[in-house]
Structure 1
Amino acid sequence: MPRRRIGFWYRFAAVICKPPLVVLIKRDWRGMENIPADGGFITAVNHNSHVDPFAYAHYQYNTGRVPRFLAKSGLFKKGFVGAAMRGTGQIPVYRESTDALSAFRAAIDAVERGECVAFYPEGTLTRDPDGWPMTAKTGAARVALQTKCPVIPVAQWGCNELLPPYAKKPHLLPRKTHHVLAGPPVDLSRFYDKEMTAEVLKEATEVIMAAVTRQLEEIRGEKAPATPYDPRRERIEQRRRTQAQTRRGERAPDGQHDEQPQQAEGQST
């Protein structure tokens, strides 16, 4: 299936965005040969900075295969930004509405038309304290198993040093390097003949994220944690810790409940 033309809006966005990116960020881009020349496919990309969608789009734009990102629906309603989002073929995500599944259907349609859909499977900036990919949502795996399209694992690193997660001010100097490494397609063939259950989607997602993490390990030259950071598990553990502290405080004599939990914690470390 032929690739879609880049089009006016994507070229116009490149004219605006590429100059500041070139000035602010050095580039170490590898693995472009793994980006399919033709046909629909998915890229699964780790997410560690609000800058990295622009920097990664620059990387893939230079391959000739522009990505279609899934983005919050509100961005499509904001004047020039909305016009650019629509014109570049980005895919709106409607959360907590009757249109919540439309992004999934639109992603499938785009892949079947021969386009690339870029997923951030984590769904948000990683909350792993050291910037490693955390547990992911199943959307990318669902589209991949539905279409049987290639899934290219992509890792990036460096924009998080320019603008750390959830930071408001960039660190412009010294000039940072945007590292990108795209790997070969992830083999999901063993899932193709299985019913698309929650367990199958979870397992396929873990295979995809393991491939992304291996690319990031190569970029960083170190090993990732054996178990990915899980925000839900962390919330549960935090809730348990809070409840335990509350119970200890309730049982403590008057005037001592502020000190005893701290002493207990200090003794356990």
Structure 2
Amino acid sequence: MSRRTIGFWYRLAAVIAKPPLLVLFKRDWRGMEHIPADGGFITAINHNSYLDMFSYGHFQYNTGRVPRFLAKAALFKAPGVGILLRGTGQIPVYRESSNAFGAFRAAVEAVERGECVAFYPEGTLTRDPGQWPMTGKTGVARAALLTRAPVVPVAQWGANLAMPPYAKENKVSFFPRKTLQVKAGPPVDLTAYYDREPTPEVLKAATEVIMSAVTDLLEELRGEQAPEKPYDLREIRAQERRKAAEEGTK
């Protein structure tokens, strides 16, 4: 999707969203040159705030290549929001249903049509105590290996300082003004996986390469070092289940 085909609905969404973003936040944007000017591609982004969709969306809108997000199907039923989501071509995700694969298929088709599809590989807001990226789900790698489209890693920081993830004790705080930092890096090299059978092991390895690139960018933004081992939400939940089962047998 080129600059000249952004379309009415995306421009309307920008008219609604950009003014408060410009008033409430400062910006530190880097790496726009890594967003492809033409052709389909994928972006892989860390997720640490309910606001960071707007932060990243603003960044990429200004490159002239608008993203298509995979969003919870329930949001498409919300008054007003649903109209904008459908109008801007966002992709509904029906989790744990017979339609669950439809979102992946729609994402692949969009990339093959020359559009950008934005993946949050973590699948949810980070649970890492330091708000670093968690281990990623393999959908982004599967789409990347199937389409062989460029995968651009994107890190962001700042929206979480205004609206922290899952923090009941920390209320939304817009002042003093926070800086929305967004940095895109060069496409991740996945050529080593192109001609291999997409087994769970191959998809896991490719996903780790993607998430490592996102984490490296976030380290540069924060000027800090991420934990050596990413937070694994699935592993943590498995440990919690085992612990609950053990306590239940006492």
Contact kept? 2:112, 2:147, Cα under 8 Å: yes
Tell me which of 213, 216, 231 is aligned to 2:215.
213
Aligned equivalents of 1:98, 1:4: Cα separation in 2: 36
Q: Does 1:177 align with 2:179?
A: yes
2:156 alignment partner in structure 1: 156
Q: How does 1:84-103 map to 2 (within 5 A)?
A: 84-103=84-103
Aligned equivalents of 1:94, 1:220: Cα separation in 2: 34
- Which string of whole-angstrom CA distances, capped at 9 and with x for unpartnered residues, describes residues 163-189 of structure 1? 000246311111101111100000000
Contact kept? 1:76, 1:86, Cα under 8 Å: yes
Identity %: 69
- Match of 2:132, as an amino acid? W
Structure 2: segments with no counterpart, 5+ residues: none
> Deviation at 1:241?
4.2
> Deviation at 1:83?
1.2
- Match of 1:86, as an amino acid? R
Contact kept? 1:3, 1:115, Cα under 8 Å: no
- Which string of whole-angstrom CA distances, capped at 9 and with x for unpartnered residues, describes residues 60-108 of structure 1? 0000000000001122223321111111010011112111111111001
1:256 alignment partner in structure 2: none
Structure 1: segments with no counterpart, 5+ residues: 251-269
1:82 alignment partner in structure 2: 82
Aligned equivalents of 2:4, 2:231: Cα separation in 1: 37
2:109 alignment partner in structure 1: 109
* TM-score of the pair, normalised by structure 1: 0.88
> Deviation at 1:4?
7.1
Contact kept? 1:49, 1:159, Cα under 8 Å: yes
- Which string of whole-angstrom CA distances, capped at 9 and with x for unpartnered residues, describes residues 204-225 of structure 1? 0000000000000100111111
Q: How does 1:34-113 map to 2 (within 5 A)?
A: 34-113=34-113
- Which string of whole-angstrom CA distances, capped at 9 and with x for unpartnered residues, describes residues 46-68 of structure 1? 00000000111000000000000
Bigger shift: residues 206-215 or 236-245: 236-245
Contact kept? 1:4, 1:115, Cα under 8 Å: no
Aligned equivalents of 1:3, 1:185: Cα separation in 2: 20
Contact kept? 2:2, 2:65, Cα under 8 Å: no
Bigger shift: residues 211-220 or 159-168: 159-168
Q: Does 1:144 align with 2:144?
A: yes
Aligned equivalents of 1:242, 1:92: Cα separation in 2: 34
1:31 alignment partner in structure 2: 31
**Helix, strand or coil: the match of 2:187?**
coil
**Helix, strand or coil: the match of 2:80?**
helix
1:266 alignment partner in structure 2: none
RMSD: 1.6
Contact kept? 2:48, 2:126, Cα under 8 Å: yes
- Match of 2:42, as an amino acid? I
Aligned length in residues: 248
**Helix, strand or coil: the match of 2:181?**
strand
Contact kept? 1:70, 1:90, Cα under 8 Å: yes
Contact kept? 2:2, 2:37, Cα under 8 Å: no
- Match of 2:162, as an amino acid? L
Contact kept? 2:2, 2:64, Cα under 8 Å: no
> Deviation at 1:235?
2.0
**Helix, strand or coil: the match of 1:79?**
coil
Q: Highest CA radius of gyration, 1 or 2?
A: 1
**Helix, strand or coil: the match of 1:101?**
helix
